[in-house]
Structure 1
Amino acid sequence: MPQKVLVCITIQQNSKRLIKKGAELASQVGGELHILHVEHGNNILTQSDAGELLQELFDYASELGGEVHVVCDEHVPERIVEFIKENQINQLVLGETMRNKIHRLITKDIENYITSTTPEVEIMVLEREKPLPIKDQEVFLQ
């Protein structure tokens, strides 16, 4: 069975890092790259610049050999698991959530839900990029 890597993205610039990491993983194992955006509800373009940014992410993913999928669903974690099972995904790349730890404990955390329902899938969670300290920015900009 061929290796399949899934990258779950949101409509933000930070998703490019996730796509790049997924492409690296897929390349290492000679596998397929899938990029999935699940929009909560039934309207993908809820942000004013969402269409433009989503297209930019799709173009980037396509350049790296990825197949892009967009779905709307009220139950995001369940829809991701359904996609994983339907497409026989082996590896999953997620970004660290912006929510604080207490909120994650109270609500259904996507990573924990996926881990408990698809234990055979290897999950990689990338931390959010942290801005450079001011001192390092000055050195970087010189």
Structure 2
Amino acid sequence: MMTVFDPAVVHRVMVCVTPQKSCERLIKRGADRARELGGEFCVVYVNKSMELNKDLKDHKILLELFEYAKSLGGYVSILAGENVYNTLSDYAKKNKITHIIVGKPLQNNFGTTKEKDIINPLIKAVEKNGIPVEVVE
């Protein structure tokens, strides 16, 4: 999927979100970073399910995050793919993203992450294109 960025803009910040209220801080960081760089930002969510309409109804928070991003001047995209980090990496390359912002995975009571790690594979996938990944606590 392509996002229509202004071709004159050099810096493009991609903010990766999941349907969690805590992702608002990532969106704010992305908007601030884009403003600092004189660039644009987009918020992306990777949908692994085939039932996107059902997912959006179940994830009201995702729609709220998208509205928040738009209110700060960002673009929003829902990407489809089984492999999250490959989907994000492909989107970043196709859209000439210059910075990526992700959140640190949440940990459970035992100190292990609840989600499969996508950050390290994403970093490896985009580092060859010189795209830095900022991991926000």
Structure possessing the higher radius of gyration over alpha carbons: 1
1:121 is matched with 131
Partner of 1:21: 29
Question: Per-residue deviation at 1:32?
Answer: 1.0
* Cα shift at 1:39: 1.6
Q: Give the Å deviation of 1:123.
A: 1.0
Q: C-alpha separation between the residues in 2 aligned to 1:41 and 1:34?
A: 21
Unaligned runs of 5+ in 2: 1-8
For 1:34, the aligned partner's letter is C
Q: CA separation of 1:89/1:65 partners in 2, compared to 1, >3 Å: closer, same or farther?
A: same
> Paired residue for 1:139?
none
Q: Aligned pairs, how many?
A: 123
Indicate the percent of aligned positions where both proteins have the same amino acid.
32
Q: TM-score, normalised by structure 2?
A: 0.80
What is the match of residue 7 of structure 1?
A: 15
Q: Which residue of 2 aligns with 1:56?
A: 64
**C-alpha offsets along residues 70-103 of structure 1, whole Å, 9 cap, x if unaligned?**
1221111110000010001111100011256766
Alpha-carbon contact 2:86-2:125 (below 8 Å) kept:
no
Relative to structure 1, the CA distance from residue 49 to residue 41 in structure 2 (aligned partners, 3 Å threshold; closer, same or farther) is: closer
2:51 equivalent to 1:68: no
TM-score normalised over the length of structure 1: 0.77
Q: 1:98 aligns with which of 106, 121, 126?
A: 106
Q: Which amino acid aligns with 2:16?
A: C
- SS of the residue 1:11 aligns to: coil
**Contact 1:8–1:36 (Cα < 8 Å) also in 2:** yes
